[in-house]
Amino acid sequence: MREIIRAALVIARRDYAATVFSKAFVLFLLFPLLPVIAGVGFGAMGASQDREALHPTVAVIAAPETAAAIGHAGARLIERLGPRALPRLRMVMPDGAEAVQVKRLLADGGGRGVVAVLTGGLDRPTLTGSRGGIGSVGGDIGLVLDSARQMRALDGRVPPVVDVVERPVDRAAGTDRSGRTLIARAGQFLLMFLTMILAGMLLSNMIEEKSSKVIEVLAAAVPVDAIFLGKLFAMLAMSFTGIAVWGGTVLTGLALVAGQLPAVPAPAVGWPLFLVLGLAYFTTLFLLLGALFIGIGGQAASPREVQMMSLPVTMGQMGVLAFASSSLGAPQSAMGIAAALFPWSSPFAMLARAAQGPALWPHLLAIGWQLIWVAVIVRIAAGLFRRSVLKSGGGGWFGRFRRRGMKPAV
Partner 1 sequence: MDAIVAEGLVKSFDGKRAVDGISLRVPEGAIFGVLGPNGAGKTTTLRMLLGIIDPDAGHRTLLGEARPIRAAHHVGYLPEERGLYPAMTAREAVAFMGALRGLPLREGRVRADALLEEAGLGDSRLKPIRTLSKGMAQTVQLLGTIVHRPRLIVLDEPFSGLDALNQGRLEGLIRGQAREGVTVLFSTHVIAHAERLCERIAIIAGGRVRFDGSVDEARGRLRPQVRVRTRAADGAWRAALPADAVTEGNGWSFALPESGVEPLLKALIDGGAGIETLSIERPGLHDAFVAIAGAAVAAELDAQKEPVA
* Residue 11 in the binding site for partner 1 (CB under 8 A): yes
The nearer residue to partner 1, 49 or 212, going by C-beta atoms, is: 212
Smallest distance, partner 1 to C-beta of residue 392, A: 4
* Residue 265 in the binding site for partner 1 (CB under 8 A): no
DSSP labels, 296-337: HHHH-SSHHHHHHHHHHHHHHHHHHHHHHHHTTT-TTSHHHH
Q: Beta partners for 90?
A: 59
Smallest distance, partner 1 to C-beta of residue 190, A: 32
Smallest distance, partner 1 to C-beta of residue 223, A: 6
Find out whether 382 and 227 touch, Cβ atoms under 8 Å: yes
Options 99, 216, 251, 368; binder of partner 1; rule CB under 8 A: 216
* Residue 229 in the binding site for partner 1 (CB under 8 A): no
Options 73, 145, 218, 351; binder of partner 1; rule CB under 8 A: 218
* Residue 256 in the binding site for partner 1 (CB under 8 A): no
Q: Beta partners for 316?
A: none
* Residue 10 in the binding site for partner 1 (CB under 8 A): yes
Q: How far apart are CA 311 and CA 200, in angstroms?
A: 10
Smallest distance, partner 1 to C-beta of residue 293, A: 21
Find out whether 114 and 60 touch, Cβ atoms under 8 Å: no
Residues whose CB is less than 8 angstroms from the CB of residue 349 and which lie 6 or more positions away in sequence, other chains included: 324, 327, 331, 336, 339, 340
Find out whether 277 and 363 touch, Cβ atoms under 8 Å: yes
Q: How far apart are CA 385 and CA 207, in angstroms?
A: 12
The nearer residue to partner 1, 1 or 261, going by C-beta atoms, is: 1
Residue of 399, 220, 202, 168 whose CA lies nearest to 295: 202
Residues whose CB is less than 8 angstroms from the CB of residue 30 and which lie 6 or more positions away in sequence, other chains included: none
Smallest distance, partner 1 to C-beta of residue 8, A: 11
* Residue 27 in the binding site for partner 1 (CB under 8 A): no
* Residue 214 in the binding site for partner 1 (CB under 8 A): yes
Q: Compose the 377-406 pattern: x for residues touching partner 1 by CB under 8 A, - for all others.
A: ---------x---xxxxx--------x---
The nearer residue to partner 1, 18 or 37, going by C-beta atoms, is: 18
- Interactions with partner 1, residue window 180-209 (CB under 8 A): 208-209
Alpha helices in 21-162 (DSSP H): 23-54, 64-81, 98-107, 131-154
Part of the chain binding partner 1 (CB under 8 A), chosen from 12-20, 29-37, 51-59, 353-361: 12-20
The nearer residue to partner 1, 145 or 222, going by C-beta atoms, is: 222
Burial of 48 (0-12, 13-18, 19+ CB in 10 A): exposed
Smallest distance, partner 1 to C-beta of residue 216, A: 4
* Residue 120 in the binding site for partner 1 (CB under 8 A): no
Q: Angle at the Cα of 223 (from 220 to 229), degrees rounded to 5?
A: 130
Smallest distance, partner 1 to C-beta of residue 217, A: 5
Interface positions with partner 1 (CB under 8 A): 6-7, 10-11, 13-14, 18, 22, 208-209, 212-223, 386, 390-394, 403
